[in-house]
Structure 1
Amino acid sequence: MFVMTSMSAQTSFQGLTLEKALEQAKVENKYVFIDCYTSWCGPCKMMAEKILPLKEVGEYMNGKFVCVKFDMEKGEGRAIQQKYRVSAYPTFLILDTDGSLLHAVVGGTATGEEFLEKVKIAFDDNSVGKLAAEYNRGNRNMDFLLKYIKALVKSCDLEKAQKIAQDVVVALDDVEKCSEPYWFIYANRDLSPVGSGNMVYLLKHMEQFRKGVGRKEVDSVVADLFAVQLEDILRGRNKSATLADVEAAEKMLDSYKLIGQDYLYEYIALIKAVKTENTDETLRLCKGIFPKLSDQKIAYLYFSPLTMLQYKWDNKQKKELVALTKQLIDQVEMSQLKHSLKNFADTGIPHLGAK
């Protein structure tokens, strides 16, 4: 009896095609809920094992939805992924019985309560579906458009969000563009990617943005643009960047006079040290930089600069690298990163070679 009660309380996924799920939802006066997952997605498995089986989640979901799940890389899942532009996992789609999208919950949640709060947005006035219907009826009020853009970004419909954001931007004068209500368009890298017209405009009008939005906010966004490109060099993703390119970036950085972004100069100094094969300077900079970084930054920035100088390290330097790596092992919280650092200290550093 306990097992039957437990099973009935959890979210019940039915083995239906999407077409059949929509038909059943219409008959039962419900909506359709789709769990969009992939086999390799860790957060998808976490949601399936820990959140969706919760009693409070199951009771709400089973009463409100016909629930189905599809692997986005197999079978009908591929067509669903393309139709609803699913680009992040997990994504949970909420559809009306005609197949129209009411809302999308993107990403996992820590609790069932948080998950249900996000699901219930589908039925308030700020859901993507309701905003889309209002947009299609011709509403072009500026406040409404800004709200719609933000909802589209949350649901990862970036193509439509970019299009409407661009429609908004072209209707503004320079003073309006550089004001707080529209700042999120320029600050969001999905809406204004590196190299886009919006980003070029931001860099050309930094002083106006600083006056209209605030120096701290603007400087932080511009610093992120530099950080992305410098980190790509440090982690070995941009192998074509030359020392001259880095020095040009440094001069450009100087010209913007960013406040509170000194870490960018540390990145530049480390890149220069690696490119000039200066192991003493590389070691000194690593000791100063990496203990200050987050686990995520350490995970993708620490190893490459050191391995780029393979066969350049002497035994004394390698001992210091081992000590630094052990310091980071004690510092970080991610278990997989601890394992990677330990393996690097035990087997990676000893094989870096000698001068």
Structure 2
Amino acid sequence: MKKICMLCWVVLCSLQLCAQDEGVRFQGLAFQEALNKAKAENKLVFMDCYTSWCGPCKYMLNTVFVLPEIGAFFNDQFVNVKYDMEKGEGPWLRGKFHVNSYPTFLILRPDGTLQHRIVGSRPAKDFLECVKRGAKAETSQFYLDQLYRQGKLEKQQLVSYHAALRDAKRNAELKHVTGEEFKQLSDDERCLARYWYIYDQEDISPEDERFVYMLAHKTVFDEQIGKEIVDKRIYDNYFQKLTATKSNVSVSVLIALIKRQIASVDFEKKEEISLSLRYVEARNNLDIDAMLDLLEKRVRDLPRPFLWQVPFLDFILGKGNKQQVARYMALENKMIEAMDNETMKKAVKETFIKYRSAQN
């Protein structure tokens, strides 16, 4: 019986070791030791920069790094290490490599220079593509950055450079690079499908000349790219800009611009953008009657980011007259019905209890 138990234990341990070998093998090395080992083995260093409280970091560790296909590539190409950025060498490494968000993944040469940076978690397939770009010198950020700064980046290398910038979430630089590229294209080229990446970026605002051009030539873009894709990009750009607004003078300018633009172009979910515009304009202008009219008729139709603000419009309670405050308080049940989860329904109830208590 003891022999059988011992045999089972050995088999179990073997299976556990095999399972561990299937994924990425992170080695417990100090930073300099990792560089030394990479040099001796003619490899690169893959460094996972994480924190103990980072949810996406845990997702990568428990979902992506355990996969056999990921482990096969990483264990062959890299000396794999991971460091908590708040412990041990972590704070020093965080400062040395300017790690500002988590998770961040660095591909380093044996001399300690940065070859490629990947910021944020990704599904396994997408992540592996990012890492393969970074492992290959001629598609890495280090190499392409140098060519770009020297003015030697060739046209066929631009796609690789855009991908490298997206890997590192260097969105401002990507916007600048593609903006310069846009200026160099002829009118015939600007609408071609192969240049859609110039427009397909979250950071391009309604004021950007590329966005204005896309609207002016929407029919052509619909034919080249597909109406559904173009409509989604227009909607996403407007929606992102409107949900990020805070009350100030520049918001009035933005609202006026978007109103002019959407008056002459049609796209899917245009009505939702029009409704969002009305909400943002009323909030920005502290126009209580306009806000109440909107909420009384369309509160259920508001997109979630605005709907979740509705129970907390303090300017109505602080600046409104008795009739306006009463109209706002009468909206409680409509707000509760409009909320799509129990947490927000409860928050509305609790907030309005406080409002009524303050009035008494």
Q: TM-score, normalised by structure 1?
A: 0.72
Partner of 1:14: 27
Partner of 2:322: none
Partner of 2:43: 30
Q: Is the 8 A contact 1:21 1:32 kept in 2?
A: yes
Cα 1:241/1:158, change in 2 over 3 Å: closer
One-letter code aligned to 1:307? F
Deviations for 1:155-174, whole angstroms, at most 9, x for unmatched residues? Answer: 43446545543553343334
Deviations for 1:137-190, whole angstroms, at most 9, x for unmatched residues? Answer: 986432322332233223434465455435533433344334433331233134
% of aligned pairs identical? Answer: 25
> Which one of 102, 108, 129 corresponds to residue 95 of structure 1?
108
Q: Is the 8 A contact 1:11 1:62 kept in 2?
A: yes
Cα 1:101/1:243, change in 2 over 3 Å: closer
Deviation of residue 79 (structure 1)? Answer: 2.9
One-letter code aligned to 1:207? A
Q: Structure 1 unaligned runs (5+)? A: 291-297, 330-337
1:259 aligns with 2:267: yes
One-letter code aligned to 2:16? S
> Which one of 318, 321, 324 corresponds to residue 335 of structure 2?
321
Cα 1:159/1:226, change in 2 over 3 Å: closer
Cα 1:160/1:94, change in 2 over 3 Å: same
Partner of 1:230: 242
Give the distance between the partners of 2:255 and 2:45, measured in 1 at CA.
55
Cα 1:241/1:38, change in 2 over 3 Å: farther
1:343 aligns with 2:346: yes
Deviations for 1:28-53, whole angstroms, at most 9, x for unmatched residues? Answer: 23221110224442111222234334
Q: Is the 8 A contact 1:32 1:97 kept in 2?
A: yes
Q: Is the 8 A contact 2:114 2:142 kept in 1?
A: no
Q: Is the 8 A contact 2:48 2:103 kept in 1?
A: yes
Q: Is the 8 A contact 1:178 1:209 kept in 2?
A: no
Give the distance between the partners of 2:309 and 2:294, measured in 1 at CA.
16
Give the distance between the partners of 2:259 and 2:192, measured in 1 at CA.
28
Q: Is the 8 A contact 1:102 1:129 kept in 2?
A: yes
Partner of 1:128: 140
1:46 aligns with 2:56: no
Q: Is the 8 A contact 2:336 2:345 kept in 1?
A: no
> Which one of 119, 128, 142 corresponds to residue 155 of structure 2?
142
Partner of 2:287: 276
Deviation of residue 344 (structure 1)? Answer: 0.9
Partner of 1:304: 309
Cα 1:174/1:60, change in 2 over 3 Å: closer
CA-atom RMSD in angstroms: 3.9
Q: Is the 8 A contact 2:252 2:281 kept in 1?
A: no
One-letter code aligned to 1:318? E
Deviations for 1:89-119, whole angstroms, at most 9, x for unmatched residues? Answer: 32322233244545444432455x6654553
Q: Is the 8 A contact 1:11 1:53 kept in 2?
A: yes
Deviations for 1:198-246, whole angstroms, at most 9, x for unmatched residues? Answer: x13541573246435558355543443332332234xxxx122599657
Equivalences, count: 324
Q: TM-score, normalised by structure 2?
A: 0.71
Deviation of residue 127 (structure 1)? Answer: 3.6
> Could you say what secondary structure the match of 1:187 adopts?
coil
Q: Is the 8 A contact 2:45 2:110 kept in 1?
A: yes
Give the distance between the partners of 1:123 and 1:203, measured in 2 at CA.
38
Q: Structure 2 unaligned runs (5+)? A: 1-9, 318-324
Q: Is the 8 A contact 1:102 1:127 kept in 2?
A: no
1:282-301 correspondence runs (5 A) = 282-290=295-303, 298=304, 300-301=305-306
Partner of 2:199: 186
One-letter code aligned to 1:90? P
Give the distance between the partners of 2:197 and 2:60, measured in 1 at CA.
30
Deviation of residue 308 (structure 1)? Answer: 0.8
One-letter code aligned to 1:302? L
Partner of 2:247: 239
